[in-house]
Amino acid sequence: MQADQQTISRLETLSTEQRNPESMGLSSWTTLELLRCINRQDQTVAVRVADVLGDIAKAVDLIAQRMQQGGRMVYVGTGTSGRLGYMDAAECPPTYGCGEDAITCVMAGGRDAVFHAQEALEDHGEIARMDLEKWGLRPADTVVAASASGRTPYCVSALDYAQSLGCGRVALVCNRNSEMARHADVAIEVDTGPEVIMGSTRMKAGTAQKMVMNMLSTAVMVRMGRTCDNLMIMIKARNVKANHRMLRLFAQAVGNPDLDYARKMMDEADGDLSVAVLMALHGVSREEAAQALSDGQGHFDRAMRPVSYTHLRAHETGRNLVCRLLLEKKKTKKRKYRIHLS
């Protein structure tokens, strides 16, 4: 496709499209020298990401706030950026027990483009609107459009369509002062600079985008209460490794290393780790623990609050009451308790 002079001028100024002087002459290097150069360049990515942590935090808060109102987080991208979005989204349900569409991805060319490059589609902004309409974008959702260049027409159009619906809009790019930033509520501009192979933005730019996506999805899920401290409390066992991990997670959450006890409680909870932990810590039944989670809209910390079990306290044994109050004291530290046992 022939580009106009204005587009060519913009592309020529992008830092990701420049030649990297640090890797010039690489074809004559030994393999180890080549790998050392790539590694040195990769080490700069985390530093660049650290420069924009404030913007990443703004994006997390925006997404989480809208998700608490029933919204979803949808990555939008083409090429490498879209594939990274699919990867990050696919890993959230097994890790955090969220719905399949809570964090998802809409990519130019659809799922087929994950395995077979369809890079020409990035220039067709009108396709983004059609793709998001077909997917069913809603006002409470947040679109996270990812593009190394920061000017991809597909992504710009996606952000504009999101605005027309009243959605949240986040731009994740690897060039400063990007066009996409002007179409977003929050712009995350990670200036990764020239690639080892000129223009190959699957390298440093792709690494930066994956690092930011890890932060976005992880922090949003924490804000949504899908963890117990730093434990994967909503994980589901689908293989031997995950099953054993769940037993260890239970032991960590309740402070009891006895894995036989963990198996017993997991059996009583029908394999639901979050329910098993609530049962153990609060001395309640599976049904009562599940109801507390439901009342808290799947937010584990809310289900852990004593108020969730007010209706149960009249039936607590002295031992359970003391154990629960000690747990609450440990978590809140500053609060004082008065225990009255009849």
For every residue of 257-320, DSSP letters joined together read: --HHHHHHHHHHTTT-HHHHHHHHHHT--HHHHHHHHHHTTT-HHHHHSGGGGGGGGGG--HHH
Q: Which of 12, 17, 33, 91 is catalytic?
A: 91
pTM: 0.86
Rounded to an integer, what distance in angstroms lies between the CA atom of residue 106 and that of residue 260? Answer: 44
* Given the residues 122, 179, 189, 195, the one annotated as active site: 122
Supply the pLDDT for residue 319.
40
Q: What is the C-alpha to C-alpha distance for residues 192 and 48, in angstroms, rounded to an integer?
A: 6
Residue 122 has pLDDT above 60, yes or no: yes
The answer, yes or no, to whether residue 68 has pLDDT greater than 90, is yes
pLDDT per position as a tens digit, 186-244: 999 999 999 999 999 999 999 999 999 999 999 999 999 999 999 999 998 889 999 99
Q: Residue 95 pLDDT more than 70? A: yes
pLDDT digits (tens, 9 = 90+) for 2-15: 567 777 777 788 99
Let me know if 288 is a catalytic residue.
Answer: no
pLDDT of residue 308: 54
* pLDDT exceeds cutoff 70 at 298: yes
The whole-number pLDDT of residue 310 equals 53
Annotated catalytic residue 17: no
Average pLDDT, the chain: 88
> How does pLDDT run across 239-279, given as a tens digit for each residue?
999 999 999 999 999 999 999 999 999 999 999 999 999 99
Give the pLDDT score at 331. Answer: 52
Please determine, for residue 336, whether its predicted confidence score (pLDDT) is greater than 60: no
